[in-house]
Structure 1
Amino acid sequence: MISGKRVREILKTGFRTPDTGHLTSNDEVTKGEMMRILIRGQQFISVMIAMASMLCLWPLSAWSAPLSLEEIANRLQKTYETTSSFSADFSQTTTLDFNQRQRQAHGVVVIEKGGRMRWDYQSPDKQVLVCDGRLFSMYVAKDQQMIVSDAKNYLESDITYAFLSGTGNIERDFAMEKHEGEEDTGSAHHLRLTPRKAHPQVNYLDIWVNADTFLIERLKIVDHFGSMTDLAFTSMRVNVTHPADYFAYTPPPGTEVVRP
Structure 2
Amino acid sequence: MIRPLKLIVLMLSLLLALPAGAATSSPVQRYFQNLQSLRADFIQRVFDEQSRVMQTSSGQMLMQKPGKFRWDYRTPAEQIIVADGERLWAYDVGLAQVTVRKLDRALASTPLALLSGVAPIEETFTVGGVRNRDGLDWYELTPKQPQPEFRLLRVAFKGETLVSLELEDSFGQRTRLDFQKLERNPTLDPALLKFTPPPGVDVVGDKG
Unpaired runs of 5+ residues, structure 2, are 1-22
Confirm or deny: 8 A CA contact 1:190 1:206 kept in the other structure: yes
Contact 2:45 2:53 in 1 (8 A): no
Q: Higher helix proportion, which one?
A: 1
Residue 67 of structure 2 corresponds to which residue in structure 1?
Answer: 115
Q: Number of residue pairs matched?
A: 184
Write the distance in 1 (CA, Å) between the matches of 2:167 and 2:137.
16
Aligned counterpart, 2:28: 76
Deviations 1:91-120 (A, max 9, x none): 000124499551110111110011111011
Unaligned runs of 5+ in 1: 1-70
Change (3 A) 1:166 1:231: farther
Aligned to 1:237: 183
Distance 1:81 1:72, change over 3 A: closer
Matched residue SS, 2:170: coil
Structure with a larger share of its residues in strand: 2
Deviation at 1:158, TM superposition (A): 4.9
CA shift, 1:206, in A, is 1.9
RMSD: 2.9
Specify which of 134, 155, 169 is matched with residue 185 of structure 1: 134
> Aligned residue for 1:124?
76
Instruction: Tell me what 2:155 maps to.
Output: 207
Runs (4+) of structure 1 moved beyond 6 Å? none
> What is aligned with 1:52?
none
CA distance in 2, matches of 1:76, 1:92: 21
Correspondence for 1:228: 174
User: 1:174 maps to what in 2?
Assistant: 125
Give yes or no for contact 2:142–2:153 (8 Å, CA) kept in 1: yes
Q: What TM-score do the two structures reach when normalised by structure 2?
A: 0.75
Q: Distance in 1 between matches of 2:158 and 2:58?
A: 21
In structure 2, the CA distance between the partners of 1:208 and 1:166, relative to structure 1 (3 Å rule), is farther
